[in-house]
Amino acid sequence: MKFVDEFRDPAAARALVKSITEIAGDTEWKFMEVCGGHTHTIYRHGIEHLLPENIELVHGPGCPVCVIPMGRIDDAMWLADQPDVVFTTFGDMMRVPGSRGSLLDAKARGADVRFVYSPLDSLKIAVENPDKHVVFFAVGFETTVPSTAVTLLRARTLGVKNFSVFSNHVTIVPPIKAILESPDLRLSGFLGPGHVSTVVGIRPYRFVPEVYGKPVVVAGFEPLDILASVHMLLQQYADGRCEVENQYARVVRPEGNTAALKLMAETFQLRPHFEWRGLGFISQSALKVHDDYADFDAEVRFSMPGVRVADPKACQCGEVLKGAIKPWECKVFGTACTPETPIGTCMVSPEGACAAYYNFGRLHRETALMVGQGAPVG
Amino acid sequence: MCLGIPGQVVEIVDPDEHLARVDVSGVRRIISIKLLAEQDVVPGDWVLVHVGFGMAKIDEREAQLTLDQVQKMGQDYLDEIDMFKSTDVGDGISA
């Protein structure tokens, strides 16, 4: 068992794999890891090659950078091109391609695009540059929304007039529902997102077992966490249970972070619908700046083009995000589309399935094929 | 982007503004602990740091395990530390 040597506790990993293999039997299992952080861990540590062949891990839509549709990137670039605008963004978004290049290209052309570590850094730039208007490009699931929420509150308290948020925040439950409703994916259960759940808790996933009859295990980010969570999912089937369990209880509280949820509700409201790359329009799946904070809403302050742009024909990010194909099954993977020259979002973010597979997974897969290790050998 | 890195709280800089100085792998910066306002954060505590905010209180063992794990991420980890170094919200902007 080659890959297991990199684990913090190789003996525990071996024991888990042995038990997983026993419980899995001959049934075909298909578990989706919702979170891009999990995808990263899985490829990084070659976990798919540790598991028996009849267990497939399907990568889900939980990479916030990956699910932003091209039209929103074009809007971001339009904002960056406005006179006296300083456009601030997390580093991950800089290289995401829109229909006319990326924010990095806009910066090279002379637009004032700056990357920031925190939305609070963006607010600080606004305070220090009263003659400029500073826009923060907000992306992310519920993990990141509270940080933007606190920043909005702070902007109001300080009476900052030259700061606004271009919100592309999304919520985790609607895409899970959309995937459950899609007929072509027959999933056996879900590895629930770890850090999103520190905010939302574990209750929002209850509909998955209750309505769709699939188990959910909220999982941590270590390779051992992934193995333990797969084990817990299989154990539910073995015991005839179907529920939401919390493998990451050392960080995730069942009720989530109630203070963060309250701040989010104050500063954001649900959009009627929002377009997701690959998943199309999903109702009530994204957050806009709350009407009470309209002064800080870039979509209110600027008349953005808001044009819907179809993905490039060659790009199959949509299929990857739905778990319908593996990264290496995309026609342009590793040839026209690489981390240096990405065509699709999944190749840009380290949490994207294509980038994670390109950087790590290929090596593991090649090694596995070389040593004939389709299934673990003990 | 959803990376959370453990940091140890060194000092509560401003209790009213929920500002704390944390140490992440030897780099010290001020972050907001407003999201943990209900959890009584004190110096010595470990918190999971995400985009300049404490997201969750974690115990020391968990902190060490997570730190070992993220350090294995190599360049992604170094990038995150570089970004953390760049933050500068310690002068009353933070909340």
Judged on CB neighbours under 10 Å (0-12, 13-18, 19+), A270 is middle
Task: Count Cβ atoms below 10 Å from residue A283 Cβ, excluding itself.
Answer: 13
> Mean of the per-residue pLDDT values for chain A?
91
Out of A2-6, A220-224, A248-252, least confident range: A2-6
pTM given for the model: 0.90
Q: Alpha-carbon distance A42 to A353, whole Å?
A: 10
Task: Enumerate residues 21 to 50 of chain A having a beta carbon within 8 A of any beta carbon in chain B.
Answer: 35-37, 40, 44
Task: Enumerate residues 136 to 155 of chain A having a beta carbon within 8 A of any beta carbon in chain B.
Answer: 139-141, 143-144, 146-147, 150-151, 153-154
More confident residue, B46 or B74: B46
Residues pairing with A139 in the sheet: A168
The residue of chain A with its CA nearest to that of B95 is A154
- Nearest residue, CB atoms, B95 vs list A143, A153, A195: A153
The pLDDT-based confidence of A378 (bands split at 50, 70, 90) is: very low
H or E element at residue B24? strand B19-24
pLDDT value of position A377? 36
Are A146 and A118 within 8 A, CB to CB? no
Q: Which residue has the tokens 């209900």?
A: B38
Which residues of chain A make contact with B65, given a CB cutoff of 8 A?
8, 222
Helix, strand or coil for residue A100?
coil
CB atoms B52 and A44 under 8 Å = no
Q: CA–CA distance from B44 to each of B15, B33, B40, B66 (Å)?
A: 15, 14, 12, 17
Q: Give the model confidence (pLDDT) of A310-366 as tens digits.
A: 888 888 888 888 888 889 999 999 998 998 888 888 888 877 888 888 888 777 767
The residue of chain B with its CA nearest to that of A36 is B2
The pLDDT-based confidence of A194 (bands split at 50, 70, 90) is: very high
CA dihedral B25, B29, B34, B36 (to 10 degrees): 20
> What's chain B's length in residues?
95
More confident residue, A46 or A78: A78
What pairing do the DSSP bridges indicate for beta strands A273-276 and A268-270? unpaired
Q: Alpha-carbon distance A143 to A140, whole Å?
A: 7
pLDDT value of position A372? 52
Which residues of chain B make contact with A259, given a CB cutoff of 8 A?
34-38
Q: Alpha-carbon distance A61 to B27, whole Å?
A: 33
